[in-house]
Amino acid sequence: MNLKSLPRTLAVPAALLLALCAPAHAQTEVQWWHSMGGALGEWVNDLAKDFNASQKDYKIVPAFKGTYDESMAASIAAFRAGNAPHIVQVFEVGTATMMYSKGAIVPVAKVMADGGQKFDPKAYVPAVAGYYTAPNGQMLSFPFNSSTTVFHYNKDAFKAAGLNPDAPPKTWPEVALAAAKLKAAGHACPFTTSWVSWTQLESFSAWHNTEFATKGNGFNGLDTRLAVNTPLHLRHIENLANMATQKLFVYKGRGNAADATFVSGECAMMTGSSGLYGSVKRNAKFAAGISTLPYYPDVPGAPQNTVIGGASLWVMSGRKPAEYKGVAAFFAYLSRPEVAAQSHQRTGYLPVTLAAYELTEQAGFYAQNPGTDVAVTQMIRKTTDKSRGIRLGNFAQIRTVVDEEMEQVWSGKKSPKEALDAAIKRSNELLERFQKATKS
């Protein structure tokens, strides 16, 4: 072989060899920790899969990390060890904790700007995005799965009790009347609720354009304190307590424990998450309806809008710029109208962008699935300073405090006034402690 031609004869096989050994394209991995189990876990995995397939630069790697509390604890432990994931799904009550952590997170608006992605905060549904936006308008976390409080009811049970199944109660007095009729017809559980604090105090307040906590529900200052001892709140808890005594309202547990009782037909009416829709449609053996959250008609400004539940995606600090570009690209992908609309229709969560809402409406989804637009219409409104959302530190603990105190009311151990006062006192201690720990 001629030495001079050696390089050329080796060039082609060498190039082939390189092509086989080298990775197709150096992909930047982005870690995403979430708490979506079951069917929702599949949704998360599909989103990651589709995004990864749509481009070659970044790879989103989702990992289920337990319940919302557990994954938050895991993220914190990881952060303290210098090893945080890029994206964490944090529940709405963890917003203040994430927001006030000095330097632990990177605001989404900054991530999008740095990543060169077009980002228009006004494209997002105001009542949804507002919860996760700083007072100065900067969006801090990416709204991902948001639900809101709605009123589920059993149409068949209504018919059997002589109530009109297509005219659900819109006000609390009407709910009480309907419950009485259901009880008279032999129903053991006319009305129940899940997420006591969220449905009966937080969303209740926003729905009536009243503050749940001072300083604009905590948006305007760390020195926020609970404000649920107004006559309106007291009246409502007293009504519920009376209903409980008359066995019109049956308490079915903390969190979403009550959901199963509605789906199985045990309870006829329930205030709870709009996200239950999918479950009900698939498994309930009765005709079910969704309506808006009940309100008191004599309160000016009611109904205003409800407060969201669910979680958002936060970006942790301490990773490389190239990886943040991947995060930005992923968020841009999630905001695409078709993607957001698909997510909304698949899961029952609220649409994240206005475009997604319009797309869904145009496709006739709401017409074909009556009741799915109730949640959305409760939220697509201009919010006020009192109804934009809630931002409290130690919020998860505050909800537990409310659960505990309200349980004393339902079991008759405390009067509504005592329980509300105790809840406020204990919650304010928690808020003070958060304020102190954060200011330092």
Nearer to other proteins, 208 or 399 (CB): 399
Residue list 265-284, contact with other proteins (CB under 8 A) = 265-266, 273, 275-276, 278-279, 282-284
CB of 262 to other proteins, least distance (A): 10
Q: How far apart, in Å, are the Cα atoms of 113 and each of 87, 222, 260, 337?
A: 17, 28, 43, 20
Of 70-78, 290-298, 299-307, 384-392, the segment contacting other proteins by CB under 8 A is 70-78
Residue choice 146, 147, 306, 353 for contact with other proteins (CB under 8 A): 147
CB of 307 to other proteins, least distance (A): 16
365 lines the binding site for other proteins (CB under 8 A): no
Minimum Å gap between C-beta 222 and other proteins is 12
Of residues 37, 221, 297, 370, which one binds other proteins by CB under 8 A?
Answer: 37
What is the contact mask toward other proteins in residues 381 to 420, using x (rule: CB under 8 A)?
-------------x-xx--x--xxx-xx-xx-x-------
Shortest Cβ 70–other proteins spacing (Å) = 6
Shortest distance, CB of residue 54 to other proteins, whole angstroms? 21
| Distance of closest approach, residue 157 Cβ to other proteins, in angstroms | 14
Least distance in angstroms from the C-beta of 86 to other proteins: 12
Q: Which of 257, 287, 322, 367 binds other proteins (CB under 8 A)?
A: 257
Cα Rg of the chain (Å, integer)? 25
Q: Which residues pair with 154 in a beta bridge?
A: 288
Residue 195 has, within 13 A of its CA and on its CB side, a CA count of: 25
Q: Could you tell me the CA-to-CA distances from 7 to 2, 16, 21, 98 in Å, in that order?
A: 10, 14, 20, 59
256 counts as binding other proteins under rule CB under 8 A = yes
Considering only 12, 22, 24, 81, the residue that binds other proteins (CB under 8 A) is 81
**Least distance (Å) from other proteins to the CB of residue 40?**
5
Minimum distance from CB of 387 to other proteins (Å)?
Answer: 23
User: Which residue in 39, 113, 287, 322 binds other proteins (CB under 8 A)?
Assistant: 39
Compute how many other C-beta atoms are within 10 angstroms of the C-beta atom of residue 384: 13
Q: Does 50 bind other proteins (CB under 8 A)?
A: no
Query: Which amino acid would we find at residue 294?
Result: P
- How many CB atoms are located within 10 Å of the residue 56 CB? 11
Question: Of 183, 233, 252, 319, which one interacts with other proteins (CB under 8 A)?
Answer: 252
Name residues contacting other proteins, limited to 103-122 (CB under 8 A): 103-104
Is 287 a binder of other proteins (CB under 8 A)?
no
Counting every residue written for the chain, the total comes to 440
Binding mask 323-362 for other proteins (x = CB under 8 A): ------------------------x---------------
Long-range contacts of 241-246 (CB under 8 A, 24+ apart): 241/409, 241/410, 241/415, 241/416, 243/176, 243/179, 243/191, 244/409, 244/410, 245/412, 246/180, 246/183
Q: Which of 263, 288, 329, 359 binds other proteins (CB under 8 A)?
A: 263
Under rule CB under 8 A, residue 40 binds other proteins: yes
Measured from the CB atom, the residue of 361 and 403 that comes closer to other proteins is: 403
CA atoms of 325 and 111, how far apart (whole Å)? 7
